[in-house]
């Protein structure tokens, strides 16, 4: 809640001083409970006098202080409410006795949040399980919030890790100890989690042709997948490695009211990545690829790709088998010397 009041000039001030308007703003946060009770907290007071471009709205440090103050109050109210709700045993209704106290810190884009993390004794009516437990274990799964991990991961894919840390500390009230190692560790942990969620690699024999049960609606415009490879020098003069990168674009939607999915990019190291087919397949699925949609692969003109363009695109085959064949071909020879487009039209040709 924002409250403002005009600053009155002191008695005896010159008339010219009274002409300069001034306001004082108090930022207050109110927590409304279900029983009608209220908890209030003053976050900051601001005072403005003569209006200028430099004094308009908030300064960067003021904005960082406000969001940090609001977060501290909101987080404290959340933890307090949750702790009270879990304090009683669900079986007999008696309160758990405290074994020890403690505090854990969760880092967010708006600063560190101290979270009370006590240890309680098990209720006497519970015969199984450990003698003590921490109530926060039901929801506290990490020391960094998903929003902070999102910003670090996205920015770290575009700029150096050290610049990410500098940018975060410049525009957000993050913890002062944030550095390039923090960003690297969070990025690595996020990448490993995403890799686990990707699933197992798809083998070519899993993409088998299936007869259509009935007439399918007209598909959207063709999906164009460009893929290429290049060599990158490894760090510490440890040789080079090949990077495969690509981009998938949907040409258009049949229905005018449907939004065309944005282009998506992918990349992997061919000698390291164990799931290249699955990676490309899931990327195309995320763009709402249908079974009868045409997919055009564009890559360097290797033998396998030319064979796909000359033969596979003119034969009647299922889309799953055709896409797998195209993926296999461009992965086998993505960086040939004779540069040319390889258009692999995948789909069910109508007779």
Predicted confidence at residue 290, as pLDDT, reads 80
Q: What is the pLDDT at residue 343?
A: 43
Say if CB 219 and CB 251 are below 8 A apart. Answer: no
Q: Tell me what pLDDT residue 111 has.
A: 94
Structural domain boundaries in the chain:
146-198, 204-346
- The label of the residue with tokens 């560190």 reads 112
Is the pLDDT at 166 greater than 60? The verdict is: yes
Give the model's pLDDT for residue 350. Answer: 36
Q: What is the pLDDT of residues 292-325, one digit of tens each?
A: 788 888 877 544 334 333 433 333 334 444 455 4
Predicted confidence band of residue 61 (pLDDT cuts 50, 70, 90):
very high
155 pLDDT exceeds 90? yes
For all residues of the chain together, what is the average pLDDT? 80
pLDDT value at position 129?
A: 85
Q: Which two tokens stand for residue 18?
A: 């009274």
pTM given for the model: 0.71
In sequence order, the 6+-apart residues with CB closer than 8 A to the CB of 29 are 1, 40, 41, 43, 69, 70, 73, 74
Lowest mean pLDDT among 19-33, 85-99, 222-236, 335-349: 335-349
Percent of the chain with pLDDT over 70: 76
229 in helix, strand or coil?
Answer: strand
Which of these, 198, 199, 205, 209, lies nearest to 320 by C-alpha position?
209
pLDDT at residue 303 in the model: 43
Over range 11-15, report the average pLDDT.
52
**Interval 278-291: pLDDT, tens:** 888 888 888 888 87
- What's the confidence (pLDDT) of residue 10? 53
Supply the pLDDT for residue 331: 54
**Residue owning tokens 């010219």:** 16
How many other CB atoms are found less than 10 A from the CB of residue 61?
Answer: 9
């Amino acid at each position: 809640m924002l409250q403002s009041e005009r600053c009155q000039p002191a008695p005896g001030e010159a008339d010219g001083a009274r002409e300069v308007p001034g306001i004082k703003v108090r930022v207050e946060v109110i927590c409304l409970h279900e029983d009608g009770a209220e908890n209030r907290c003053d976050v900051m007071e601001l005072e403005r006098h003569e209006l200028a471009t430099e004094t308009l709205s908030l300064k960067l440090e003021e904005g960082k202080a406000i969001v940090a103050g609001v977060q501290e109050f909101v987080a404290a109210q959340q933890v307090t409410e949750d702790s009270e709700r879990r304090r009683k045993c669900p079986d007999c209704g008696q309160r758990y006795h405290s074994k020890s106290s403690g505090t854990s810190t969760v880092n967010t884009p708006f600063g560190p949040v101290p979270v009370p993390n006590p240890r309680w004794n098990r209720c006497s009516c519970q015969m199984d399980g450990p003698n003590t437990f921490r109530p926060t274990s039901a929801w506290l799964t990490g020391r960094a919030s998903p929003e902070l991990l999102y910003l670090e991961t996205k920015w770290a894919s575009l700029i150096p890790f050290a610049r990410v840390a500098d940018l975060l500390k410049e525009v957000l009230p993050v913890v002062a100890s944030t550095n390039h190692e923090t960003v690297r560790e969070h990025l690595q942990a996020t990448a490993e989690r995403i890799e686990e969620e990707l699933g197992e690699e798809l083998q070519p024999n899993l993409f088998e042709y299936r007869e259509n049960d009935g007439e399918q609606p007209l598909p959207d415009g063709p999906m164009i997948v460009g893929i290429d490879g290049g060599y990158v020098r490894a760090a510490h003069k440890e040789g080079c490695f090949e990077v495969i990168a690509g981009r998938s674009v949907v040409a258009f939607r049949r229905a005018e009211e449907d939004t065309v999915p944005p282009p998506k990019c992918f990349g992997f190291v061919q000698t390291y990545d164990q799931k290249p087919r699955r990676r490309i397949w899931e990327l195309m699925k995320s763009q709402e690829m249908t079974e009868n949609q045409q997919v055009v692969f564009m890559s360097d003109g290797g033998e396998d790709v030319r064979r796909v363009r000359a033969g596979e695109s003119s034969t009647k085959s299922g889309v799953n088998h055709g896409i797998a064949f195209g993926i296999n071909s461009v992965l086998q020879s993505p960086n040939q010397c004779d540069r040319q487009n390889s258009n692999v039209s995948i789909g069910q040709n109508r007779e």
